[in-house]
Amino acid sequence: MLALTPVLTVSYEVKSAFLFLSILEFIVGVLTNAFIFLVNFWDVVRRQPLSNCDLILLSLSFTRLFLHGLLFLSAIQLTYFQRMKDPLSLSYQTIIMLWMITNQVGLWLTTCLSLLYCSKIARFSHTLLLCLASWVSRKVPQMLLGAVLFSSICTALCLGDFFSRSGFTFTTVLFVNSTEFNLQIAKLNFYHSFIFCTLVSVPPFLFFLVSSGLLIVSLGRHMRTMRTKIKDSHDPSLEAHIKALRSLISFLCLFVVSFCASLISVPLLMLWHNKVGVMICVGILAACPSIHAAILISGNAKLRRAVETILLWVQNSLKVGADHKADPRTPDLC
């Protein structure tokens, strides 16, 4: 087995830097996802109809707000409470399990977004694919309801497995007077729950890969067709393909990075007891959803308009404030 030097404790400077980075990632993640949520929720308040894409973004941003909260709690627990020489506390294990479940819900919602992009933008010639694309574009609310229902079932199974094994560990500790044996049992139980929650994420990820692959194939066909015609750099269909692919490929890359970080963090935490490595993994896990939220904002016309409106309002407010300071004789209307 790969041997790493255990880093049971870290310096005050490392803890301070990690906590500062965690706070920064928490603020950025909450601001970006809260912005997406509020822009779409404001349309709900005004009783404006939400598009299927906006409905998915509303649900996804709401889920990621919880995700960032759990990651921030994990960072605080890791910094101040969890010592590497001790077994994982039940509170820290619970935070990790809840994070994995919330991340799984986000994966299902992103898969719904990928299927919607594929049905709206990709061009199919096969009759079965055309029927599926038409069904997906008409059944987005039902898809979201199914994703929530399936995620709820998986959540119940993951939590049931986790807490039943936690109870088994507690019973073992009572009847077996061996610290090393009890520690190994606790590790095995946590590994089992972690692997179980990870395997449940496989179906939505496969759906995501298939829909993204179909979109990439459609883009390739569309570009080959354009080469035989007059080249138009502002072709709306091509731009829609590229924007959708930018969002999906960025999510794919970020998901793979975060998935690898989550897999590496478990042996770093429980086998190699390397606290610095775990801190780096937690930082990566917090950065990925924030980056994807920023990409979603840049690729969505309504969200971009909202950003431009806010920036224009801030610019006008600063200009009015500067003019008021430059001419103090200007009457105050308030």
- Residue 132 sits in a domain whose CATH number is 1.20.1070.10
Question: Does 171 have pLDDT greater than 60?
Answer: no
Residue position matching structure tokens 């998986």: 154
Q: Read off the pLDDT of each residue in 167-186 and give the average, rounded to a whole number.
A: 49
Q: What is the pLDDT of residue 287?
A: 94
Percentage of the residues of the chain whose pLDDT score is greater than 70: 81
Residue position matching structure tokens 């759906």: 207
Global pTM reads 0.84
CA dist., res. 233 & res. 213, Å (int): 24
Residue that wins the pLDDT comparison between 17 and 266: 17
Question: Does 254 have pLDDT greater than 50?
Answer: yes
pLDDT-derived band at 168 (thresholds 50, 70, 90) equals very low
Q: Do the Cβ atoms of 250 and 157 come closer than 8 Å?
A: no
Q: What is the pLDDT of residue 83?
A: 77
pLDDT-derived band at 39 (thresholds 50, 70, 90) equals very high
Residue that wins the pLDDT comparison between 203 and 176: 203
Q: What is the pLDDT of residue 28?
A: 96
Residue that wins the pLDDT comparison between 37 and 231: 37
Residue that wins the pLDDT comparison between 100 and 223: 100
pLDDT-derived band at 17 (thresholds 50, 70, 90) equals very high
Q: Read off the pLDDT of each residue in 123-140 and give the average, rounded to a whole number.
A: 78
CA angle in degrees (0–180, nearest 5) for 89-92-93: 85
Is 299 contained in some domain?
yes
- Give the domain extent around 67: 12-166+183-228+239-304
Q: What is the pLDDT of residue 57?
A: 94
CA angle in degrees (0–180, nearest 5) for 233-235-241: 105
Question: Does 102 have pLDDT greater than 80?
Answer: yes
Is 319 contained in some domain?
no
Which of 63, 74, 7 is CA-nearest to residue 36?
63
Q: What is the pLDDT of residue 135?
A: 82
Is 322 contained in some domain?
no
Cα–Cα distances in Å, from 93 out to 6, 63, 69, 258, 321?
Answer: 20, 20, 15, 18, 50
Q: How crowded is the C-beta side of 92, counted as CA atoms within 13 Å?
A: 19
Percentage of the residues of the chain whose pLDDT score is greater than 90: 26
Residue 19 neighbours by CB under 8 Å, 6+ apart: 75, 76, 79
Residue that wins the pLDDT comparison between 247 and 98: 98
The number of folded domains in the chain is 1
Residue 79 neighbours by CB under 8 Å, 6+ apart: 15, 18, 19, 22
Is 249 contained in some domain?
yes
Is 233 contained in some domain?
no
Question: Does 234 have pLDDT greater than 80?
Answer: no
Residue 303 neighbours by CB under 8 Å, 6+ apart: 35, 36, 39, 57, 296, 297
CA dist., res. 283 & res. 29, Å (int): 12
Q: What is the pLDDT of residue 228?
A: 65
CA dist., res. 319 & res. 324, Å (int): 9
Is 144 contained in some domain?
yes
Q: What is the pLDDT of residue 80?
A: 87
Q: Rg of the Cα trace of the chain?
A: 24
Both structure tokens of 3: 């041997």
Q: Read off the pLDDT of each residue in 36-54 and give the average, rounded to a whole number.
A: 92
pLDDT digits (tens, 9 = 90+) for 46-58: 988 889 999 999 9
Q: Read off the pLDDT of each residue in 130-156 and give the average, rounded to a whole number.
A: 82
Question: Does 21 have pLDDT greater than 90?
Answer: yes
pLDDT-derived band at 169 (thresholds 50, 70, 90) equals very low
Relative orientation angle of helices 52-76 and 90-121, to the nearest 10 degrees: 160
Is 6 contained in some domain?
no
Is 221 contained in some domain?
yes
Q: Read off the pLDDT of each residue in 58-81 and give the average, rounded to a whole number.
A: 93
pLDDT digits (tens, 9 = 90+) for 276-312: 999 999 999 999 999 999 999 988 889 999 999 999 9
Residue 180 neighbours by CB under 8 Å, 6+ apart: none
CA dist., res. 119 & res. 214, Å (int): 10
